Amino acid sequence: MNNKATISRARRLLLGGLMLCGFVVLAGRSAQLQLFDREFLQGQADARHLRVVQVPAHRGMITDRNGEPLAISTPVQSVWVNPKELVASRNELSRLARLLGLDGDYVRRLLGQRQGREFVYLRRHISPDRAQQVTDLEWPGVYLQREYRRYYPAGEVAGHLLGFTNIDDEGQEGVELAFDDWLSGEAGAKRVVKDGRRHIIENVENIRSARPGKILRLSIDRRIQYLAYRELKAAVRQHGARSGSIVIMDNQTGEVLAQVNQPSFNPNNRKHLKAERMRNRAVTDVFEPGSTMKPFVIAAALESGRYAVGTRIDTSPGLFQVGVHTIRDMHDYGTLDLTGVIRKSSNVAASKIALALKPEDFWKGLSAAGFGIATSSGFPGEADGYLADFHRWRDIERATMAYGYGLSVTSMQLAQAYSVFANDGYRVPVTLLQREQAAERQTVYSPRVARAVRKMMESVVKKDSTAPLAAVQGYRVAGKTGTVHKSVAGGYADDRYLSVFAGMAPASRPRLVAVVMIDEPNNGEHFGGKVAGPVFSKVMAGALRLLNVTPDDAPLLQTRLQSSEEPA
């Protein structure tokens, strides 16, 4: 009995000793970890959970001249996965795929191909509702990342001008591409602590602050841009035309206030977009300008000193032979002074004048006005147009160039060239950015000549001329029509035309210059005065009112005033 008691006591002492030793060991180990190995263990923990993450920077906003937003970047979420961490059944993957609008088999193939990676995008730029649904799943290996998406409030009204960015917010077309360096932001970096689900639970330090892109203020007036878009779209539809473009400039500063094309596209939705709809025709497409060239022939004639405003040209019988080629007018206009040449748009008279001028003098005037040279707008893909060297001109080329064949221009170039007449003979560089100070001007014609030609062009919108539909009530308008046979293989088509009107207002002291071009009207009318002229009239009338430009047509204003005073 005593032996049993002794053994039991020994066991209790042994067990107590072992427990005491265990406690001492645990206490010692705890002291070691807390006091001696603390920095090492903290470093190991940080190595597993301390991360450097990128801080996204948004792209700079694009605004019109009045500060109205044309392109902005909004924060969105993108879904990515770590295939090494993602443990999900086939049904769960299908559910995730459906949530993201993806095919389940595609998701499984993608993850199978990227098993060795730690970062794979599943869907970028999702809606906030979908992002919240992904968060609610709480699946290991599925994460959200904040990014920015470009949004264009004006939609297709300014699509060609602004262009667009890709999924990584990099400029791809238009202004977005031309000024990508200015608009692009610089991502920042910060050190954070993440938990086991890679959620940020603590911001440790800011390594580098994000630098947002800079704001870009364009010369465009959003109100005039919309007005031009609306009228051009209506005209292209009315005439069953293939395409069209409008450029409106403030000729005093060279600022482009509107630049519109049809057909257009919406940069917010490019899912089913065709490449041909993205082309900014106003600066990339060239065409022969037709009779819109005649004012430049008259200007060169006046500059030569061999012609005066009253000089008369015999156009009878409406035909003019140049070698084996015959140049024709629509009618026999008889004898015309220089104003009559522009008013009646005589090909015969313009050709005779061009052949009487020195080729070099004629070429210098055209080149100085900007023909054959891209404008200074900086728009990507802008065409130079074509103006052959005068040394290679044959007589027939000099003659046909006088009424706009044998050279090519863009709508933007033609607008810049017409601004020379609006600016009393000076050419101002074109810009798509709001201009803070006056730009250098280049002399093309003397002020006397430019004013004389501008006065002649006022006759074009009179009732007995080629473009009465281009008139603007209350304002004097100066301009010129162009009705151009389109070139085809082997010559020119008999039934395919370009309809053009180029002009300025108010003619007494021009503020705006506009060019309207309609490609292949196909609804019975094709003359520039009847197809492009009315578009010019509507857009110019609205733009002048929006800019509060004082009317200068006193007789029309007096008539309107008297009619408003009559009793109803």
Say if residues 353 and 308 touch (Cβ distance below 8 Å): no
C-alpha–C-alpha distance, residues 440 and 30, integer Å: 80
Whether the upstream peptide bond of residue 317 has omega within 30° of 0, thus cis, is yes
Q: Which of 243, 291, 346, 411 is catalytic?
A: 291
C-alpha–C-alpha distance, residues 433 and 420, integer Å: 20
Across the strands, what pairs with 120?
A: 81
Cβ neighbour number for residue 321 with a 10 Å cutoff: 8
Cβ neighbour number for residue 134 with a 10 Å cutoff: 20
Across the strands, what pairs with 148?
A: 75
C-alpha–C-alpha distance, residues 378 and 398, integer Å: 31
Backbone angles phi, psi at 307, to 5 degrees: -130, 150
Pick left, alpha or beta for residue 306 (phi over 0 → left; psi -120 to 50 → alpha; otherwise beta). Answer: alpha
Contacts 24+ apart (CB under 8 A), 204-209: 204/50, 207/52, 208/55, 209/55
Please, what is the end-to-end C-alpha distance for the chain in angstroms?
136
**Axis-axis angle for helices 411-422, 447-458 (nearest 10):** 110
| Catalytic annotation present for 291 | yes
Q: Which residues have a catalytic role annotated? A: 291
